[in-house]
Amino acid sequence: MTLIEDIAACAGIVERGDPDRFAAVMAAPIAQREMLFPLYAFNVEVARAPWVTQEPLIAEMRLQWWRDALEEIGGAGPVRRHEVVTPLAAVLDAEGARTLDTLIEARRADIDKSAPEGGRAGLIAYLDATAGTLLWTAARLAGAGEEGAIRQAGRAQGVAAYLTAVPDLIARSHHALPHGDPVEEMAALADAGLTALDEARATRMSRPARGVLTVMAGVGPVLKAVRKDPETALSGLVRPVGLTQSLRRARAALLGRF
């Protein structure tokens, strides 16, 4: 396969496994897509590794495979041939490989389906290490430098995505929320996401960051909806779709507003 074919394969992985991010990438500048599709395909593969098997050891092995691939990308030796690893190696530097390794380490928590270790603070730290790290890595590779604000945006996006996923996680016997009243935990997490979103919005984002921030479309409405009615959100949340969502992505790409 050629590099172009690999990137197309990555786009297919993202489209099937993370349609929200796929739509966000398609709203980003064309020049950024060759970087974003391999990065987000990597994220899809790592995120689902703990879920494709009931055997913890096999899940650990799957995650270790990706850690080994990142070590190859970050080193000076040869990099394995793979439809995601090969195009990822073309856009990821050694710093990015080290940073994404922390994302994989955080994903090990998904193997154990018990309540989040460390309670609410532990769950937020997990979202920082996954969604926050992914968004910052994408933004840095795009040429942005507002790490603090972008990581806050990543926290908000991660909280919104997680709250949306909670009903499905619970249905799959995953203790998705910290111990305590689940309605209160949903509301508190939404509050944490809204606080992070406000902090991110306080920074004027550079042009390189704007295409990456298309993923933020709909984050605010989701967080507000959960905060307004956390009990209903526990049984399923209708996310913003259609033209309104498309306009939000366009505004993020052009103006850096989300």
- The whole-number average pLDDT for the span 118-125 is 97
Amino acid at 102: T
More confident residue, 206 or 253: 206
- The whole-number average pLDDT for the span 104-122 is 94
User: What average pLDDT does the chain have?
Assistant: 94
Rounded Cα distance, 139 and 208, in Å: 7
- The whole-number average pLDDT for the span 69-83 is 94
Contact status, residue 216 vs residue 157, Cβ threshold 8 Å: yes
Tell me how far CA of residue 75 lies from CA of 46, 71, 82, 86, in angstroms: 20, 6, 17, 14
Rounded Cα distance, 213 and 190, in Å: 19
Instruction: Check pLDDT > 80 for residue 76.
Output: no
Instruction: Check pLDDT > 80 for residue 1.
Output: no
pLDDT of residue 77: 82
Amino acid at 221: P
Return all residues near 22 (Cβ < 8 A) that are at least 6 apart: 11, 14, 15, 40
Instruction: Check pLDDT > 70 for residue 162.
Output: yes
pLDDT of residue 250: 85
pLDDT of residue 240: 58
Please state, for a pLDDT cut of 90, what percent of the chain lies above it: 86
pLDDT of residue 238: 58
Angle at which helix 30-48 crosses helix 3-17, to 10 degrees, equals 60
Rounded Cα distance, 21 and 40, in Å: 8
- The whole-number average pLDDT for the span 140-165 is 97
Instruction: Check pLDDT > 60 for residue 241.
Output: no
Among residues 120, 130, 148, 142, which one has the least CA distance to residue 210?
142
More confident residue, 233 or 237: 233
pLDDT in tens, 4-53: 999 999 999 999 999 999 999 999 999 999 999 999 999 999 999 999 88
Return all residues near 166 (Cβ < 8 A) that are at least 6 apart: 176, 177, 186, 233, 234
- The whole-number average pLDDT for the span 175-202 is 97
Amino acid at 99: T
Angle at which helix 133-142 crosses helix 94-107, to 10 degrees, equals 170
Among 60-69, 171-180, 182-191, 246-255, where is mean pLDDT lowest?
Answer: 246-255
Contact status, residue 40 vs residue 98, Cβ threshold 8 Å: no
Rounded Cα distance, 51 and 90, in Å: 28
Global pTM value: 0.94
Q: Where are the domains of the chain?
A: 1-112, 118-258
Planar angle of CA 253, 212, 166, nearest 5 degrees: 110
- Tokens in use for 252? 């993020």
Instruction: Check pLDDT > 60 for residue 257.
Output: yes
Instruction: Check pLDDT > 80 for residue 243.
Output: no
Return all residues near 147 (Cβ < 8 A) that are at least 6 apart: 136, 139, 140
Band the pLDDT of 3: cuts 50, 70, 90: confident
Ramachandran quadrant class, 217 (left: phi over 0; alpha: psi -120 to 50; beta: rest): beta
pLDDT of residue 131: 98
Contact status, residue 208 vs residue 170, Cβ threshold 8 Å: no
pLDDT in tens, 203-212: 999 999 999 9
Band the pLDDT of 78: cuts 50, 70, 90: very high
